[in-house]
Each structure stands twice: as C-alpha cells, then as structure tokens.
C-alpha cells in the first residue's frame, strides 16, 4: 500500500534574496531563518513525514532543504561534513547531501540536504551555532 503524504501547515516568510514571500512548512521555519541569517540561499524545503525513520527507504518522506551551490553554501557543507555527528562520527542516519545542476530547472548549481523529520531541531541548532567566518 502506498503511503499518502499529507500537506503540511505553512507560514509565510519574506525572502530577501527573491524579494517574494515563500510558504515554509511550520517545522522548517527556524531552520530556514537560520540558513538565511548566514546568507545561504534556499530554493525549496519540506519538513518530511514525522513517521520517517531508518526503515524508510524512499526520499519522498524525508525532509529536505535545497540550497544554491555557491562559495557560502560549500563552506557550510564542509562544516557539516566535518562537525555534524552523523558525518563526523559515521552514525546510522537518513541524512544525505547531494549536488546537481540542470539548467532546465534552475540557473545555478544546487545542493540538497535530506534528513529525517525528527532531525530538524538538532540540525537547526547546528546551523544556528555555525560561524561562517571560521575556516572550514
């Protein structure tokens, strides 16, 4: 039986980069605000399904944030790989980072961070503690 994805409650945030309002899943609002506070450009995001865990094999139920791939985001990703426990300590996780570039969808290369819904608070705290001025 196929799992049905229910729409998430959202909050409207003003995106300075695009000059437009964006509908952000409620549980993603603090993470998106944290990313924006570091001048990281986001394209899309989703909080994923709260029932997601290590037994879920499909991407469609994990949360994600899609970032513009540029010098700032690459510095952040290097920090994520070096310091976030999942990567630093090689722990079991549904967290992945992928990179793509398809001019049909977006004029910039981009990167996608996928994570389990229950990882949102820890990942948000990690982003808030990030200091881009450090050499990662």
The whole-number mean pLDDT for each consecutive block of 10 residues of the chain, a chain of 136 residues, reads 68 89 95 96 89 54 91 95 89 86 86 91 96 78
* pLDDT at 16 (0 to 100): 84
Q: Provide the β-strand partners of residue 112.
A: 66, 98
Quick check: helix, strand or coil at residue 133? coil
* pLDDT at 30 (0 to 100): 97
Measured from the Cβ of residue 132, the count of other Cβ atoms closer than 10 Å reads 13
- Environment class of 107 (CB within 10 Å of its CB; exposed 0-12, middle 13-18, buried 19+): exposed
Taking the C-alpha atoms of residue 74 and residue 84, their distance in angstroms, rounded to an integer, is: 15
Cα angle vertex 58, ends 52, 60, to 5°? Answer: 75
């Amino acid at each position: 039986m196929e799992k049905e994805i229910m729409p998430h409650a959202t909050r409207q945030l003003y995106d300075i980069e695009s000059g437009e309002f964006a509908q952000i899943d409620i549980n993603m609002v603090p993470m998106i605000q944290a990313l924006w506070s570091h001048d990281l450009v986001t394209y899309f995001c989703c909080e994923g399904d709260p029932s997601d865990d290590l037994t879920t094999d499909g991407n469609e139920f994990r949360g994600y944030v899609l970032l513009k791939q540029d010098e700032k985001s690459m510095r952040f990703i290097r920090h994520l790989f070096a310091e976030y426990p999942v990567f630093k300590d090689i722990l079991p996780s549904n967290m992945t980072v992928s990179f793509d570039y398809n001019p049909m969808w977006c004029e910039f290369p981009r990167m996608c961070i996928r994570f389990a819904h229950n990882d949102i608070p820890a990942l948000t705290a990690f982003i808030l503690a990030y200091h881009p001025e450090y050499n990662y």
